[in-house]
A and B are shown apart, each in its own frame.
Chain A
Amino acid sequence: MRPHPRILMCPPDHYGIEYEINPWMNRSLGSIRALAFQQWQRLRDTLTSLGVQVEILPPQPGLPDLVFTANAGLVYRQKFFSSRFRHDVRARETPYFDAWFAAHGFEVVHLPEDYFFEGAGDALFCGDALFAGYRIRSDVHGHQWIGQQLGVRVLPLELVNPRYYHLDTCFCPLSATEAIYFPDAFDPYGKKVLQSHVPTLLAVVEAEAARFGCNAVVVGKTVVHNTGCPRLAEQLAQRGYRSIEVELDEFLKAGGSAKCLTLRLDGEEAAVW
């Protein structure tokens, strides 16, 4: 475990289903604000109890998805690669993320204008390689650009299932050599790349992938994920991980869960840099 885990979160004061930009969103099935708040607080408290220093981004009216801080950008040491959202409704979040990172001592880097890139939602280090999801939200060109800037190996993975529209909804590195994933979210090439670059790869069953079991937060040897993933908990236990379930169904309505609600600031457990 990294010595001082820090995670950025944004309270769901203004969270809601106000538009539909992924197959999970349905405006007629709005979220229950009080319940969302309760679930978010439980997640925050769980992380705090694990020794995580939770930083708070002030919520903003009119930006319901600002709670999903994982999409703010990609953190690499003191650099913050700010996202270029594919959808305008989310692009409005960027100034708030940028301001927070600039105020907290990060160098804010912007990608060239014609690239789409949705931050840690689509770019996850596992070992020294940056695994990058593309085609649905981020595009492959942006990832290659970041790879050049950082001098790291970028392995783009095509996402082929619109329900798993970000890489962090179907892939979660546990350590430099272990990860969980949902195979059907990837094309045969992507599966092969994962299989040949991650020594231990645990496949999450479909029912639990649909509960966003892969959208988990790893702190040391503890994995925090949504409820309803008993098989995943067993798989993790076999690898020596403790599984903590926190119900986050109000956020699943927007296509997000534990991982989407957090952004690790000091480097993920699985990242080697």
Chain B
Amino acid sequence: MSDARFVEEVEIQGHIIDSLLLPKILDEILTRGGSYEIRDIRIGKKQTDPSYARIQVRADSQEALDDILDQIHDHGAVPTHVADCETQPADIAGAYPEGFYCTTNFRTQVRLQGEWIDVEDQEMDCGILIDPEGAAARCIPMTQVQVGDRIVVGRRGVRVFPIEQQGRKELFEFMSSAVSSEKPKGVTVREIAQAMKRTKAAGEKILAVLGPAVVHTGGSELVCRLIREGYLHILFAGNALATHDMEQAFYGTSLGISLDRGLPAEEGHEHHLRTINRIRRIGGIRPAVERGILTSGIMYECVRHGIPYVLAGSIRDDGPIPDVITDTLAAQAEMRRHIPGVGMCLMVATTLHSIATGNLLPAWVKVACIDINPSTVTKLMDRGSVQTIGIVSDAEPFLRSLVSELNRSD
């Protein structure tokens, strides 16, 4: 499949097989340097029945594409989209007009003034906002809609490119198989490590979404190594991960359990609350690092290495620590702000934050989801993050083999 980015879909019907019009059109596309993919074909069953083909035509430039389209039009191939997308001004703030186009996480284009334009900030379950000049389009969450915003309605003049046509053959091909606890993990971990290396080499960012089990299982130091070695560029988490990470830094325990001995520490159940209280007294994680109070752990490394983190709150949080954003919409907006430039996402031991992040990511961002519970990965996929590969594993053993794979020389 060609990676040519200039694409148009055409259809042709009639007795296109008998009359050799279909092979002629396909030949014409190839001789003019284009490529094609037959997206749909229906052959007439009887001699008098017409046939139908829908063909995606690709070329390296708009001029080459236009040339091909002009030629094949004369043989009966007509573009399937001949009209611009339709918009309606938003009549209510915080809601789309009825009949709005509902986005997917796949690459999407809208037709504006006869030209196909990429939709920016691709995100599932949003609407599409057209800028006032009618020259650009982007996904917009429902809550951000302002009265008068031009929102795309209906499906006319909108096209979506499912992931399999995006020419990303080299990466994550194995992800087609569903998550299973009975698969060899070594191969998958190696693939994830290689994907992380390629992402880093491509100058794209790696996002980590981490749950507190990372700390409970003793994986903190491994995450710290990922940060120090430049394999982790953004962190999404909740109150718990940060709290237990800092609890470990202050008391050597995670939820009161000694991480060295694996046994409950005396008065250990109070440690996490004392940690939260201490951070609240200081005014946040960054001041704690700057004042030399917090000197190790994931949050410490984040501050030291300038890794942005977004801590989103939940209803069961203790405290929370001051860095936690308790307004869900504000937290979503802050997470969304960090998505551009992300090429890969590692989700470890968290269901809620994984799904929240999966909702924000375009389908071309590779996602590796690691959880002891297979249903976390399944849920993520069922909610549309089909680009996900899953490993059923506890957090620490996965992180350990990941770090060791990353350190293996290729």
A: residues with CB less than 8 A from B are 128-129, 134-135, 139-141, 143-144, 147-148, 151-158, 189, 192-193, 197
Given contacts A155-B19, A189-B23, contact A135 B48 (CB under 8 A): no
Binds A, one of B72-80, B111-119, B146-154: B72-80
A151 to B47, CA, bound (A): 10
Closest to B46 in A: A153
A-chain residues with CB within 8 Å of residue B24 when the two chains form the complex? 158, 189
* Beyond A128-B48, A153-B15, A155-B19, 20 additional pairs, beta carbon < 8 A: A128-B47, A129-B15, A139-B74, A140-B21, A140-B75, A141-B76, A147-B14, A147-B15, A148-B14, A151-B48, A152-B48, A154-B14, A154-B19, A156-B21, A156-B76, A158-B24, A189-B20, A189-B21, A189-B23, A192-B20
Answer yes or no: B50 CB below 8 A from chain A CBs: yes
Interface of A, helix, strand, loop or mixed by DSSP = mixed
- The total of Cβ contacts below 8 Å across the A-B interface reads 54
Contact B50 A197 (CB under 8 A): no
Residues of chain B contacted by A197 (CB below 8 angstroms): 18
- Residues B23-64 near A (CB distance < 8 A): 23-24, 47-48, 50
How far is it, in angstroms, between the C-alpha of A197 and the C-alpha of B74 when the chains are bound? 23
Q: Are B48 and A193 in contact, with the CB atoms below 8 A?
A: no
Q: CA–CA, A155 to B44, complex, Å?
A: 14
Tell me if B295 is interfacial: C-beta within 8 Å of chain A.
Answer: no
Q: Is B103 an interface residue (CB 8 A)?
A: no
Checking B18, B20, B50, B76 against A140 with a beta-carbon cut-off of 8 angstroms, the contacting residue is B76
Q: A40 CB to closest chain B CB, in angstroms?
A: 35
Q: B349 CB to closest chain A CB, in angstroms?
A: 59
Interface residues of chain B, those whose CB is within 8 Å of chain A, are 13-15, 18-21, 23-24, 47-48, 50, 74-76, 78
Closest CB in chain B relative to A111 CB, distance in Å? 14
* Cα of A263 to Cα of B24 in the assembled complex, Å: 32
B75 touches A153 (CB 8 A): no
Nearest Cβ in chain B — how far from A156, in angstroms? Answer: 5
- Closest 7 pairs (CB-CB, A-B): A144-B14, A140-B76, A155-B19, A189-B20, A189-B24, A153-B15, A156-B19
A residues in contact with B48, CB < 8 Å: 128, 151-153
A to B CB contacts below 8 Å, 9 in the list: A140-B14, A140-B76, A144-B13, A144-B76, A148-B50, A156-B21, A192-B20, A193-B19, A197-B18
* Chain B residues, Cβ within 8 Å of A141: 76, 78
Chain B residue, CB-CB nearest to A145? B14
CA A238 – CA B15 in complex, angstroms?
A: 33
Tell whether, in the assembled complex, residue B74 and residue A156 are in contact, meaning their CB atoms are under 8 Å apart.
no
What is the distance, in angstroms, from B10's C-beta to the closest C-beta of chain A?
Answer: 12
Chain A residue numbers with a CB within 8 Å of B20 are 189, 192-193
CA distance A117 to B50 in the complex (A): 20
Residues of B within 8 A of A147 (CB): 14-15, 50
Q: Which residue from chain B places its CB closest to the CB of A158 in the assembled complex?
A: B75
A189–B23 Cα distance when bound, in Å, is 9
A74 to B78 alpha-carbon distance, docked (Å): 24
Q: In the complex the two chains form, what is the Cα distance from A135 to B78 in whole Å?
A: 15
Residues of A within 8 A of B50 (CB): 144, 147-148
A155–B18 touching, CB < 8 Å: yes
